[in-house]
Amino acid sequence: NAGVTQTPKFQVLKTGQSMTLQCAQDMNHNSMYWYRQDPGMGLRLIYYSASEGTTDKGEVPNGYNVSRLNKREFSLRLESAAPSQTSVYFCASYRGDTYNSPLHFGNGTRLTVT
């Protein structure tokens, strides 16, 4: 059982380039999330999808777009990367039918924008 799979694990972009971070879960979870983690800042929510076909902004959505392609997949797109988007990105999924379920995380993508 793979859980939550993120690709790529590492990426270096030049300012202005675009890329898509991929995330897939095989736990039949309803909800999926994208977080970024910067030193001393904890995990900050970028976008989330409560269910297939819906997406909502989190705390720090500027500069990002998302697509909930189907129940399994939730991608994060950087249209024009900026150095401020250098961070570690985590995708997570959640059952979504009870408050008492935790998040399940992928292994993260370490992105550097030069």
Q: Which residues bind another protein (CB under 8 A)?
A: 31, 33, 35, 40-45, 48, 50, 56, 58, 90, 92, 94, 96, 99-100, 102-103, 105-108
Give me the least distance between CB of 113 and another protein, in Å please: 19
Check residue 73 and report its DSSP letter.
B
Closer residue to another protein (CB): 17 or 104: 104
DSSP class of residue 103 equals: P
Least distance from another protein to the Cβ atom of residue 108, Å: 5
Peptide bond into 8 cis (omega under 30): yes
Cβ neighbours of residue 40 under 8 Å, at least 6 residues apart? none
The distance of closest approach from Cβ of residue 40 to another protein in the complex, given in angstroms and rounded to an integer, is 6
What is the token pair recorded at 59? Answer: 């705390």
Using alpha carbons, select from 94, 74, 92 the residue that is nearest to residue 23.
74
**Token digits for 109?**
């993508």
Question: What minimum distance in Å lies between the beta carbon of 105 and another protein?
Answer: 4
